Amino acid sequence: MAGVRLTPNAVAAALAGDTNLKPVVQVVDLRSIAVNGPLRKGPRFRAIISDGVATTPALFAAQLCDLARSGLVRRGAIVQLIEYIINTVQKDRRAMVILNMEVLVPECEIIGNPALPPESGVSNSNSMRADQFNGAPVLTTGSTLSTVPRSIDNAPVLQRSTAGNSSNINPSPRNNPQVFQPTVQPSYHPAPNYRNHGTIMKNDAPARIIPISVLNPYQGRWAIKGRVTAKGEIRRFHNAKGDGKVFSFDLLDSDGGEIRATCFNALVDRFYEAVEVGKVYVVSRGNLKAAKKDYNHLNNEWEIFLENQSTVELCPDEDSSIPAQRFSFTSIDKIEDSENNAIVDVIGVVTSVNPSTTIQRKNGMETQKRTITLKDMSGRSVEVTMWGDFCNREGLQLQEMVECGTFPVLAIKAGRVNDYSGKSVGTISSSQLLINPDLAEAHSLRQWFDCGGRDASTQSISRDFTPAASRNEIRKTVAQIKDDGLGMGDKPDWVTVKATVVFFKTDSFCYTACPNMTGDRQCNKKVTKSDSGNWVCDKCNQEFPECEYRYLLQLQIQDHSGTAWATAFQEPGEELLGCSARELYMLKENEDPRYTDILLQGLYQMYLLRLKVKEETYGDERRVKNTVAKVERIDPSAESKFLLDGFSRLTGSY
C-alpha cells in the first residue's frame, strides 16, 4: 500500500473541467444526507475528497450509495474516480457528482495536510488540518463513528456507536503505522488562455483545454483548441421569429477530434471575419446540442452553438501538432455502392475538365457549374460536379493544368454522392478541394499514374459512355421487370430498357413545389396556396409569392414484350417533352394548341430509359413502381455495337 499515491492537484483540475483525469483521491469525510420526495430510496451520501492538499465536496450517485452503506467506502478510503461530472451550483461555486469509482484501499490514515471546507462539520475549527484528526474522533450528521483497534494489522477501524452523540475513542497504535508518503504539489495553474476581452475576464481560473472527442453537454466550463478546417458562407433565412442569418465553421484538434461550431445573427457579425480557415483558435463557452446529421457530416454527435458569452481566441503561435485537415478516403469503386446523398472523401487523378457553364436555378438565381473526371487505382472513374465559387477557383486552376498536359491529384473533403445517371460526386458549401496535397495517398496515386496508370482502362460509375462496357447497365425488356421479380428486395434494382412512350396522363402532370434554397439544394416539397394568395411550405414554414412547377409525369412505355407504367420527375420529364413543367402548365391554362402538339411530339419515340425499380406500398396494396432516372435518345452507332457484342457473347457460348 505504500506505493499508492494521490494524484497531485486532482481537485483543482477536476473543478476546472477535466473529466478525463481519473484521479486517485482520499475520502476524508463521509456523511449521509436525507433525500426528500416520494421516490426516495434510502439516504444519499456526500463525501469530502482530498488530493493531499485541497479538498472538495462530492455527492455519490445513487448507484454508489451501497458502497457507503456496506462500509466498503469509509473515511480514509483511497479511491480512483472513473467517471464524474462538475456542476455549477452558483455563479462561483462548483460541485462534483461521482458516477463511478473504484476502491483501491478501503481504509488508511489521512494523507498529506488537506484543509477541510468550513461546512464539513468535522470540527468546530474552520481550518482543521489532517494532524488534528489522524486517529481522532470524527462526527457525522445523522450517525456517530468510533475508532477501535483492528486486530489484524493494527489499523484503525470506524464503527458506529450506539450512544447518542458521544464517541468512544481508543487511540490508534503508533508503533506500526501504514506508510503513505504525501505528495505535495504547488497549486494548480491551468494552461494559458489567449484572451484580450470578454466575459472570461471575470474568472481568474480559465477553463482547461480538453480534447474535442470528450466534449459533452454535461461538462461545466470547458475550452477546446483546434484548427479551422472549413468555413461556410453566411446563409439567410426566414421563419416565424423573423429574418436571420447563420454560418458555421469546423474545428480539428491534435487528437483528430472534429466538431462544428455554429453562429446566429449578432454572433455572425462578431465572429465571421475573425475566423479564418487554417488558423488555430481556442473556443470556450457554448451550448452543445445533438448534431443534425442531414447537414453535419463530421464524426461527432455534438455541435457547438456559440452564445453571447462565448469566446473565440486566435492562438498567436502556430501549433504544428494540429493537422491541416483530416481525411477518410473512399475509393471510387466503393462510391458505386454508396447511398444517395452520402458524404464521402475521395481522391483521384484529374483526367478531364469541362468548361464552366452558367445555369439558372429553379428560384431564378444563376450559378456556375463545372464537371471534371477523377480516376484511381480501383479501375473506376467518377464524374465530379463543382458548383458556385469552386468553378472559378479550383476549377479554373485544374483546367489550366490539364490543358498543359499536367494531370493533378485532387483530394475532395466532404463531397455528396448523387445517384442520378449512375453515381457522381458533387460539392456542397462545406466541401474542400486540395490540389496535389502532401498526403501519402496522393503520392501513391501520382506514382501509379506516371508508371502506367495513365493508360490503364477504367470504367465510369457515372454514366454509360460505352453501353456494353459499364457494369451499371443491365439491359432488360419490359416483361422481364415483372418476370424476374425486380424491385422486391431491400434495395431498388437499376435497369435499362429500350422502349417507346405510348401514352401520357394529362390530368395531373406536375405539382407546385417550394422554391426555397437550403444550402445548394432546393426544397421541392409540395406547396399550397393560402388565403393571402401566397404559397405555403409546411416543411420550411414559410410563404412565397411564387412557386415552382415540377414534373410528376405518369407515362406508359412499350417494347416488343409488353407495356408498363412509369413515373418521370423533373429532368427526365423535360427530356421527354422538350420544355419545362411551368411552360407546359401555362400552355394548358391558356388553352394553347401548342400544349397538345408538345404531348403528341413526345409519343412513339424510342428511348433508352434507365429505370429505378422498387416495390412500394399504396394503402394496403404493395406494387412495384418504375421511376425514370435518365432518358437517352437512341445512338445508332452505340446501339449497333451493343447488339454486335451481344451476338459475340451468344455465339461464343456455344
Please report the pLDDT score of residue 520 as a whole number: 58
Sign of the dihedral defined by the CA atoms of residues 311, 312, 314, 319, in that order: positive
Please report the pLDDT score of residue 364 as a whole number: 60
Phi, psi for 78 (deg, rounded to 5): -100, 125
Query: What tens digit of pLDDT does each residue of 578-625 get?
Result: 999 999 999 999 999 999 999 999 899 999 999 999 988 777 788 889
The answer to whether residues 410 and 433 touch, using CB atoms and an 8 Å cutoff, is yes
| 10-116 against 332-460: fold identical | yes
The answer to whether residues 515 and 544 touch, using CB atoms and an 8 Å cutoff, is yes
Instruction: List, in sequence order, every residue forming a beta bridge with 27; answer none if it has no partner.
Output: 49
- Given a cut of 50, is residue 485 above it in pLDDT? yes
Alpha helical stretches, state H, 240-343: 266-271, 332-335
Q: Supply the pTM of this predicted model.
A: 0.44
Q: Which of 315, 22, 293, 73 is nearest to 194 (CA)?
A: 315
Query: What tens digit of pLDDT does each residue of 455-480 get?
Result: 887 888 886 433 333 334 678 999 99
Query: What tens digit of pLDDT does each residue of 291-350 get?
Result: 887 778 888 889 999 999 899 999 877 677 888 888 889 999 999 888 888 889 999 999
The answer to whether residues 254 and 326 touch, using CB atoms and an 8 Å cutoff, is no
**Euclidean distance between CA atoms 43 and 63, whole angstroms:** 12
CATH architecture for segment(s) 478-509+552-641: Beta Barrel (2.40)
**Euclidean distance between CA atoms 281 and 252, whole angstroms:** 10
- Given a cut of 50, is residue 140 above it in pLDDT? no
**Euclidean distance between CA atoms 381 and 461, whole angstroms:** 6
The predicted model gives 195-201 an average pLDDT of 41
Percent of the chain with pLDDT over 70: 80
**Euclidean distance between CA atoms 613 and 482, whole angstroms:** 10
Please report the pLDDT score of residue 653 as a whole number: 47
* 3-state SS class at 387: strand
Please report the pLDDT score of residue 250 as a whole number: 92
Compare 97 and 318 and report the one with higher pLDDT.
97
Please report the pLDDT score of residue 275 as a whole number: 93
What cell does 14 get? 477536476
Please report the pLDDT score of residue 36 as a whole number: 56
The answer to whether residues 468 and 606 touch, using CB atoms and an 8 Å cutoff, is no
Q: What are the boundaries of each domain within the chain?
A: 10-116, 212-314, 332-460, 478-509+552-641
**CATH class held by domain 332-460:** mainly beta
Query: What tens digit of pLDDT does each residue of 506-538 get?
Result: 888 999 999 887 655 678 889 998 888 899 998
Please report the pLDDT score of residue 538 as a whole number: 86
Please report the pLDDT score of residue 119 as a whole number: 52
545: alpha, beta or left? (left if phi > 0; alpha if psi -120 to 50) = alpha
DSSP classification of residue 209: B
Percent of the chain with pLDDT over 90: 32
DSSP classification of residue 483: H
What cell does 11 get? 481537485
CB atoms within 10 A of CB 601: 12
The answer to whether residues 495 and 506 touch, using CB atoms and an 8 Å cutoff, is no
The predicted model gives 359-366 an average pLDDT of 66
CATH superfamily, with its number, for domain 212-314: Nucleic acid-binding proteins (2.40.50.140)
Phi, psi for 275 (deg, rounded to 5): -90, 125
| Residue pointed to by grid coordinates 415540377 | 550
Assign 278 a pLDDT band (cuts: 50, 70, 90): confident
CATH architecture for segment(s) 10-116: Beta Barrel (2.40)
CB atoms within 10 A of CB 157: 19
Question: In the chain, how long is the greatest CA-to-CA distance?
Answer: 114
Strands 459-460 and 380-387: parallel
Q: Which of 77, 66, 65, 84 is nearest to 27 (CA)?
A: 77
**Can you list the pairs that 338-341 forms with residues at least 24 positions away whose Cβ atoms lie under 8 Å?**
338/417, 338/423, 339/417, 340/417, 340/418, 340/419, 341/416, 341/417, 341/418
Q: Which helix (H) or strand (E) holds 529?
A: strand 528-529
Strands 424-435 and 380-387: parallel
- Given a cut of 70, is residue 361 above it in pLDDT? no
